[in-house]
Amino acid sequence: MITDSLLLHAIPDGLREEWATHFAKPLDPPSSDRIALVVFRLGAEKFSLSADRVEEIITPGVIRPLPHSGKGLLRGVTNVNGRIRTCVSLERLLNATPGPASGTPRLMVLQDQRWRVAAIVDEILGVQEFHQSDLKPLPATHTGAVYSTGWFGEGDHFVAKLNEDELFDAMRRQLT
């Protein structure tokens, strides 16, 4: 068989030592300056959260409104893998500017030490790594500035970095 003949060839001279030297090197420690962020769009604006605060991203299911919840932060409850999760409106909390109805809406399950909450976003743009040192101050006039630590990007293309602790505190205050 072709596979047998391929696997039975002798390793070229020096290749075994080259591989041993390469794989014996210690790994470079991860840069403490780099952070992984889930970037998403709400309306016309882009936001990001630390990837470790996003438990999962799924196709949205049915959101059941709760009586007397009004038009505030609470959208209702939804089933996420057999668990009932509170679903909130991040666009209302962040006062996001309405934008085009393009992209594929997704349900993000966010987590902190005590709580998990679901939120629908207009589009997930991916997980991106940024250098913490590239974080620029966000103008106070920007949507969601009160919940942001700054922004990444260049020119007109920027992503607001949300402060997860402030965001969760605000959600808890408004829901209790």
Structural domain that includes position 93: 34-175
Domain presence at residue 29: no
**Domain harbouring 48, CATH code:** 2.40.50.180
- pLDDT digits (tens), the chain, 176 positions: 555 566 677 778 888 888 888 888 887 666 678 899 999 999 888 999 999 999 999 999 999 998 877 678 999 999 999 999 999 999 999 988 887 777 899 999 999 988 899 999 999 999 999 888 889 887 766 656 788 899 888 666 789 999 999 999 999 998 88
Distance CA 40, CA 127 (A): 9
Domain presence at residue 130: yes
Domain presence at residue 100: yes
Domain presence at residue 81: yes
Domain count, the chain: 1
The reply to whether the predicted model has a pTM over 0.85 is: no
